[in-house]
Amino acid sequence: MTGTGALDDLFARTRAGGRAALIGYLPAGYPDLAGSRDLLAALVDGGCDAVEVGMPFSDPVLDGPVISTAQRAALAAGFRIRDLFGLVEHVAARGAVPVVMSYINPVLAYGIEPFARDLAAAGGAGMITPDLIVDEADPWRGAAAARDLAPIFLVAPSSPADRIALTTAACRGFVYAASVMGTTGARDAVSGDAPALVARCRQHTGLPIGVGLGVRTAEQAAQIGSYADAVIVGSALVSAADSGPDAVRGLARELADGLRHHRPAEPGVRR
């Protein structure tokens, strides 16, 4: 199954298994195209249920130094937007659900309709757009709906109730709850704002809720997995990528193992 249905099926499986899903992020084309394929395969082999294939961007203002450096390295190695779709297809063929994480500017440069068409054709399930607010997202939401792709938006600890309601209503697949304010990056402790943010989201939606920003250990993953439907890991995996596929595979396996022993307290329900 492809598109939004692939995410629905994924969360149905993880709920049935009594655990949260593991979603791993790596920038497309890092360190180069061939190396990127190997690293993405390692994510899946290590136990990631879904993979965020990051679109490299020259001005990744919401990303911390680890991810920003990797994105710029991918661009310097010759990454082009059209290369993204082959990597998405590679993830899908490997057995995980691929979603794209992208700032909106590269999508606008490619063309919203062509981007949705090519992402769907590659087996992508949807796209996370960290800098696109729901109020300005109608063109992307329309294109996504026409191709059965999930538009996934972010909520933050500072989001008031009306914004959470508006944002979660526009999401499909899952809701991305950013557990901390500021840029991405692995942290020594999980934000204390995350459980409250998830609880606030559950007041407005039955969609699964994934928590991201800052996770780097199996213990942190298990902590988040006790109340969220998905644990999203980025910077720690990008750091591991510097040591090659074996390091990525090993960290993904540790994170996945940490989630297998913790049932989410309030599993999301598909709408």
Superfamily of domain 4-259: Aldolase class I (3.20.20.70)
Digit-coded pLDDT (tens) for 143-174: 999 999 999 999 999 999 999 999 999 999 99
Active centre residues (catalytic):
52, 63
Q: What is the pTM of this model?
A: 0.91
Break the chain into its structural domains and give their ranges.
4-259
Digit-coded pLDDT (tens) for 64-119: 889 999 999 999 999 999 999 999 999 999 999 999 999 999 999 999 999 999 99
Residue 261: pLDDT band with limits 50, 70, 90 = confident
Least Cα distance to 114 among 33, 122, 203, 31 occurs for 122
Break the chain down into helix, strand, coil percent, rounded to 5. 50, 15, 40
SS3 52: strand
Report the 10 Å Cβ neighbour count for 271. Answer: 10
Report the 10 Å Cβ neighbour count for 248. Answer: 28
Q: What are the angstrom distances between the C-alpha of 49 and each of 9, 127, 196?
A: 11, 16, 25
Q: So what's the pLDDT on residue 189? A: 47
